[in-house]
């Protein structure tokens, strides 16, 4: 019976229309928030030239105020629980949340608030905003792609799927420990699905 149910679910999903559409006119304007089961913020850097570790944050919120007719008028805010950083190594996590790096006791959150959205091409936008880490605020531009904007086939809610990336110098936010042995440049990657509220 269990295998029969699995087969039925798989067949149902395959039958659903998963065509890619990034036309924002397919979804209404308004507030969109993170589907926490489909949200990822990760970053990578060079460790002594031997490897490029990928770390991430397990807990964060994203709020998009979407203007689907004029996307350049949209705004986005992200709040990250800095203590949720995850290297997959418990001892290293403790080091990262300590005073050498994120000092989460004194600075529990990391925030990003957009200040400008500019269209780059049909589905891509340059989203510039203020990134605050360790109490220091500096501008960052995220290259942001709208992967799909449509009604979610299982949640029955307007949904926007977004990929974003940027390159940062961690030392600009007071996170320069062990540079240059550990690279100053960090590559940031964001994958989120945002649901209409």
pLDDT at 121: 87
In the prediction, which pLDDT does 20 show?
Answer: 47
pLDDT in tens, 128-139: 999 999 999 999
Residuewise pLDDT in 10s, the chain (197 residues): 544 444 444 444 444 444 445 689 899 999 999 999 999 999 999 999 999 999 999 999 999 999 999 999 999 999 999 999 999 999 999 999 999 999 999 999 999 999 999 999 888 999 999 999 999 999 999 999 999 999 999 999 999 999 999 999 999 999 999 999 999 999 999 999 999 99
Query: Domain tally for the chain?
Result: 1
Q: Is residue 2 part of a domain?
A: no
Cα end-to-end distance, the chain, whole Å: 37
68 located within any domain: yes
Evaluate whether residue 35 is within a structural domain: yes
CB atoms within 10 A of CB 19: 6
CA distance 191 to 185: 20
d(CA 185, CA 3): 48
Beta strands 85-86 and 60-66 are unpaired
Q: Which residue in the block uniquely carries the two structure tokens 């977004």?
A: 162
Residue 74 lies inside a defined structural domain of this protein: yes
CATH classification at residue 51: 2.40.128.110
Taking Cα atoms as reference points, which of 197, 193, 190 lies closest to residue 153?
Answer: 193
What domain range is 38 assigned to? 21-196
pLDDT, one tens digit per residue, over 62-71 is 999 999 999 9
Are residues 158 and 193 in contact, defined by beta-carbon separation less than 8 angstroms?
no
Strand partners, 163: 145, 191
Instruction: Look at residue 14 and tell me if it is in a domain.
Output: no
Does 3 map to a domain?
Answer: no
């Amino acid at each position: 019976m269990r295998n029969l149910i699995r087969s039925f679910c798989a067949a149902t999903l395959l039958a659903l229309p998963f065509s890619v559409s990034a036309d924002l006119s397919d979804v209404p304007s308004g507030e969109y928030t993170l589907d926490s089961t489909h949200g990822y913020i990760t970053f990578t850097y060079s460790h002594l030239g031997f490897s490029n570790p990928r770390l991430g944050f397990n807990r964060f919120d994203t709020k998009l105020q979407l203007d689907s007719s004029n996307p350049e008028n949209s705004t986005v805010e992200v709040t990250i629980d800095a203590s949720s950083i995850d290297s997959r190594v418990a001892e290293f996590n403790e080091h990262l949340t300590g005073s050498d790096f994120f000092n989460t006791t004194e600075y529990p959150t990391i925030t990003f608030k957009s200040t400008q959205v500019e269209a780059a091409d049909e589905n891509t936008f340059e989203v510039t905003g203020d990134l605050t880490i360790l109490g220091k605020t500096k501008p960052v531009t995220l290259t942001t792609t709208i992967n799909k904007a449509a009604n979610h086939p299982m949640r029955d809610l307007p949904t926007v799927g977004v990929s974003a990336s940027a390159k940062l110098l961690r030392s600009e936010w007071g996170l320069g420990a062990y540079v240059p042995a550990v690279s100053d440049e960090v590559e940031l990657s964001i994958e989120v699905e945002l649901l209409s509220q």
